[in-house]
Chain A
Amino acid sequence: MGIESALPVDSILTTQLQRVVNWSRRSSVWPMPFATACCGIELMATACSRFDLARFGAEVMRFSPRQADLLIVAGRVSVKMLPVLQRIYMQMTEPKWVISMGACASTGGVFDTYAVVQGVDQFIPVDVYVPGCPPRPEMLIEAIMAIQRIIDNDAIPRDGEGARLPLNIAVQPNFEPRSQPVPVTVGTT
């Protein structure tokens, strides 16, 4: 892990195995981008240098679900695409997390028609909902960090039989609306 070089030569580092596992897991949440619409563009912006998802260890987009821990559903899912999404979800190995990014993935958004799934959480478990159309990259980063905090604290919710429950986190918008333009009047009123 490279940590040896930072330590004095004859020192010992003790920790709990679970903490090391959690640390490495949260530092390498590899996303599987399921970008079906405009939210995917914002997802790409998040991964690019301006917002730099690499700062959170989550920049390695894996296009094979078997190598990914985090499914980011970015965009509307048409009814025809839903079986694909479900197959991808099933192919991912535990531990896995699901982010529903944007109004469309979470609720269908404005696309209230026969061909669009009205919220992917009806058909796959969703951990974090990110509101927005599209959400700002900061909000997606916040969603990933919410998952990282859960992993770090070993706080994955389980039911009585030990089965993993969805986290059910909704990220709150992290911006404030600015004042809007008002009519301009010239001269004294």
Chain B
Amino acid sequence: MTVATLTHPSLATIKGAFPSVAFLASEFRGQTTLVVPAARLHEVMRVLRDHPDCDFNFLVDVTAVDYLGYPAPVQARFAVVYCLLSHQHDRRLTVKVNLDPTLDTKGTAADPALEVESVTDLWPGAEWLEREVFDMFGIRFRGHPDLRRILLWRDFPAFPLRKDYPLRGRGEREHFQTLTRESR
């Protein structure tokens, strides 16, 4: 295995700001990913936004990955992915947080292990993005001002982008009243 050359300048800044935290990082085709422990996410994100050498003023996207059935060894079942962009330095950075569920992932029960700090106070645009991650993966965001489902309806009985949810659903699309011409 070749060791990746990690040349992204923000990595040194982050390592300097958090000397005791164990970070992981990787580079693939010029795109650098930084893996942050879930407990330290918010502090790291604040430095990434505010430190003049990082200056990631724009949160492009928040999304998540379910690694169930991934064909290679993985670090955890879920990862929350933040895509950052600095207009000042014309630079991008992907930040990942690994999460492992403690409950059965088939239901919608609130799993305390699937929870990260919300970044809505750093980038207000994260609000709907985090709601979508919650809606699709059931990952909750502490401190989010309004954590509701955003696309599916309130009582939807699953988190459908989890890989153990069947593509065709569990009957959600079939159970409706059927109208006839005489329906009132």
CA distance A164 to B181 in the complex (A): 7
Chain A contact residues, majority secondary structure:
loop
A81-125 Cβ-contact flags toward B at 8 Å (1 or 0): 011001001100010000000000000000011111110001111
If the complex has contacts A112-B167, A113-B167, A113-B168, are A118 and B181 also in contact, measured as CB distance less than 8 A? no
Q: Which residues 68-112 in B have Cβ within 8 Å of A in the complex?
A: none
B176 contact set on A, CB distance < 8 A: 79, 82-83, 86, 122-123
Is there a chain B Cβ closer than 8 Å to A163's Cβ? yes
Query: How close is A112's CB to chain B, nearest CB, in angstroms?
Result: 6
Chain B contact residues, majority secondary structure:
loop
Contact B173 A163 (CB under 8 A): no
Contact B180 A125 (CB under 8 A): yes
Contact A122 B167 (CB under 8 A): no
Contact B183 A90 (CB under 8 A): yes
Is there a chain A Cβ closer than 8 Å to B113's Cβ? no
Interface size on A, residues (CB 8 A): 22
Contact B152 A80 (CB under 8 A): yes
B152 contact set on A, CB distance < 8 A: 80, 115
Chain B residues with a Cβ under 8 A of chain A: 152-153, 160, 165-170, 172-174, 176-184
